[in-house]
Amino acid sequence: LIWIICTGRLPKSFPGFTMTPKPLNDCVICNGTILTLDPAFTVIPKGFITVDDHRITQIAELADDTVIPPARKVIDAEGGIIMPGLVNTHGHLPMALFRGLADDLPLDAWLNECIFPAEAAHIKPDTVAVGTALSVAEMLLSGTTCCCDGYFLEDHQAETVAETGIRAVLGQGVIDFPAPGVADPKENVAHAAAFVDRWRSRTPLIAPSIFCHSPYTCSAETLRAAKAAADDRGALFQIHAAETQSERSRCIAQHQRTPIHYLDDLGVLDTRTLIAHAVWVDDADIQILARSGARVSHNPESNMKLACGIAPVADMLNAGIRVGLGTDGCASNNNLDLFQEMDTAAKLHKVCALDPTVTDAPSVLKMATIHGAECLGLAHETGSLEPGKQADIIIIDTHRPRLTPMFSPVSQLVYAATGADVRHVLVAGRVLVENQCLTTIDLPGLAARLQPIGKRIMALFARGAF
Ligand SMILES: [Zn+2]
């Protein structure tokens, strides 16, 4: 009794007496078709999932005589699809502020004449936080429970992300010229390393990372140092590479190697390296990627919009490369809906190969879930529904004309569903979207904060400042 009074807690056991485990689960989700995305690709036509202490504790069939375990919260999927939350392996959260600001331009002009000047003028701690909240709101509402970001002023993204409850890999940007928050490029790697140190133990939902912008904006010395700093901290090393034909040509002219070959020779490719894009890769590059174990984030809509080209995804998959799906930043997509990205990815490679059998629906669904989680080094926690894993779960409302009739849930998810069909979203067992409403983000308040920022960006644009 004295122990209880002093600590305010019940002891786990007394001599000769053990406390019974707590009788209630935190949550049970029932009455839906469960797509587990586990190694056997198990589908349970009608089942339930229990969640306790942030994790999935049970997945089982729901028969007429099944007694559903008691829980503090019961979510009725109403015959919908219960599946892992989607994993967006590449993006730039604050760029939601620049959605639609500059379209229909080649990458070089888009970056140098629009995006870089807009960022220089408008990327500040408060705008980064607002843009991040906007992106997270859009992702959660469309079923993404884990995202991967690379940008500047990353502490402010991290603070905002932590408030929203989404799971994220957050990469502090590294680039060899003055950037928001890093006036002296000589400090860029140390700055990124300090970010990782600050956030590595802050919350289990955020994995800090180091994000080098590209092989053409970072020197060999910077790339090696950034990779070493990431390795020392067990962090993911991210980089855009082989995105455009001109990048490849310039790299060959300057280094006598393709971008992938160049990065390999620098020693920065391994299983904790994530290459965003990998569009202009040849057979030798694919062999390098496969041998090194480097992961690839495939961003088909961004690559299409900027006319970068078509990544040879079918060849990469055949070579055993782990490929995840990403949207890239809002300004080059222009949305963060991974359902649309799945549809695009599946169809793009069919028409490219003139072969409708490539990138089939199950492969693409894996890219958006478990394989995406593998790309981020998080497959032990998320990307599939399995007992012991974190409860990152979404529920799809299948009572929609576009999802009827339901011959194949996988087909419907890849080719017919959109993010608007997501009804509930849980991350680590916490309900972040309930009946299509955000529980941790105040949307009207966010809109009010966005309005003056949007006006400032438009005023600069109208003056022809970029
Ligand atoms: Zn990008």
pLDDT tens sequence across 90-132: 999 999 999 988 899 887 888 888 888 888 888 999 899 999 9
Q: According to the model, what pLDDT value does residue 76 have?
A: 97
Q: According to the model, what pLDDT value does residue 122 have?
A: 87
Q: Please tell me the distance between residue 451's alpha carbon and the centre of ligand 1 in angstroms.
A: 25
Q: According to the model, what pLDDT value does residue 21 have?
A: 56
Q: According to the model, what pLDDT value does residue 20 have?
A: 52
Q: Please tell me the distance between residue 325's alpha carbon and the centre of ligand 1 in angstroms.
A: 12
Q: Per-residue pLDDT averaged across 207-211, rounded?
A: 98
Q: Please tell me the distance between residue 54's alpha carbon and the centre of ligand 1 in angstroms.
A: 31
Q: Per-residue pLDDT averaged across 14-34, rounded?
A: 75
Q: Please tell me the distance between residue 151's alpha carbon and the centre of ligand 1 in angstroms.
A: 9
Q: Please tell me the distance between residue 328's alpha carbon and the centre of ligand 1 in angstroms.
A: 5
Give per-residue pLDDT as tens, 394-453.
Answer: 999 999 999 999 999 999 999 999 999 999 999 999 999 999 999 999 999 999 999 999
Q: Please tell me the distance between residue 387's alpha carbon and the centre of ligand 1 in angstroms.
A: 34
Q: Please tell me the distance between residue 238's alpha carbon and the centre of ligand 1 in angstroms.
A: 10
- Region of poorest pLDDT, from 122-126, 235-239, 277-281, 297-301: 122-126
SS (H, E, C) the chain: CHHHHHHCCCCCEECCEECCCCCCEEEEEEEEEEECCCCCCCEEEEEEEEEECCEEEEEEECCCCCCCCCEEEEEECCCCEEEECEEECCCCHHHHHHCCCCCCCCHHHHHHHHHHHHHHHHCCHHHHHHHHHHHHHHHHHCCEEEEEEEECCHHHHHHHHHHHCCEEEEEEEECCCCECCECCHHHHHHHHHHHHHHHCCCCCCEEEEEEECCCCCCCHHHHHHHHHHHHHCCCCEEEEECCCHHHHHHHHHHHCCCHHHHHHHHCCCCCCEEEEECCCCCHHHHHHHHHHCCEEEECHHHHHHCCCCCCCHHHHHHCCCCEEECCCCHHHCCCCCHHHHHHHHHHHHHHHHCCCCCCCHHHHHHHCCHHHHHHCCCCCCCCCCCCCCECCEEEECCCCHHHCCCCCHHHHHHHCCCHHHEEEEEECCEEEEECCEECCCCHHHHHHHHHHHHHHHHHHHHCCCC
Give per-residue pLDDT as tens, 138-173.
Answer: 999 999 999 999 999 999 999 999 999 999 999 999
Q: Please tell me the distance between residue 277's alpha carbon and the centre of ligand 1 in angstroms.
A: 8
Q: Please tell me the distance between residue 199's alpha carbon and the centre of ligand 1 in angstroms.
A: 22
Is residue 6's pLDDT more than 60? no
Q: Which residue has the higher pLDDT, 12 or 326?
A: 326
Q: Please give the share of the chain, as a percent, with pLDDT higher than 70.
A: 94
Q: Which residue has the higher pLDDT, 107 or 369?
A: 369
Q: Please give the share of the chain, as a percent, with pLDDT higher than 90.
A: 86
Q: Please tell me the distance between residue 128's alpha carbon and the centre of ligand 1 in angstroms.
A: 16
Q: Which residue has the higher pLDDT, 304 or 5?
A: 304
Q: Please tell me the distance between residue 227's alpha carbon and the centre of ligand 1 in angstroms.
A: 18
Q: Which residue has the higher pLDDT, 455 or 202?
A: 202
Is residue 7's pLDDT more than 90? no
Q: Please tell me the distance between residue 160's alpha carbon and the centre of ligand 1 in angstroms.
A: 20
Q: According to the model, what pLDDT value does residue 16 have?
A: 47
Tell me the pLDDT band of 9, cut-offs 50, 70 and 90: low
Q: Please tell me the distance between residue 50's alpha carbon and the centre of ligand 1 in angstroms.
A: 37
Tell me the pLDDT band of 13, cut-offs 50, 70 and 90: very low
Q: Please tell me the distance between residue 196's alpha carbon and the centre of ligand 1 in angstroms.
A: 20
Q: According to the model, what pLDDT value does residue 458 have?
A: 81
Q: Please tell me the distance between residue 453's alpha carbon and the centre of ligand 1 in angstroms.
A: 22
Tell me the pLDDT band of 19, cut-offs 50, 70 and 90: low
Q: According to the model, what pLDDT value does residue 463 have?
A: 61
Is residue 466's pLDDT more than 80? no
Q: Please tell me the distance between residue 27's alpha carbon and the centre of ligand 1 in angstroms.
A: 36
Average pLDDT, the chain: 93
Q: Please tell me the distance between residue 278's alpha carbon and the centre of ligand 1 in angstroms.
A: 11
Q: Please tell me the distance between residue 254's alpha carbon and the centre of ligand 1 in angstroms.
A: 23
Q: Please tell me the distance between residue 150's alpha carbon and the centre of ligand 1 in angstroms.
A: 8
Q: Please tell me the distance between residue 16's alpha carbon and the centre of ligand 1 in angstroms.
A: 60
Q: Please tell me the distance between residue 106's alpha carbon and the centre of ligand 1 in angstroms.
A: 14
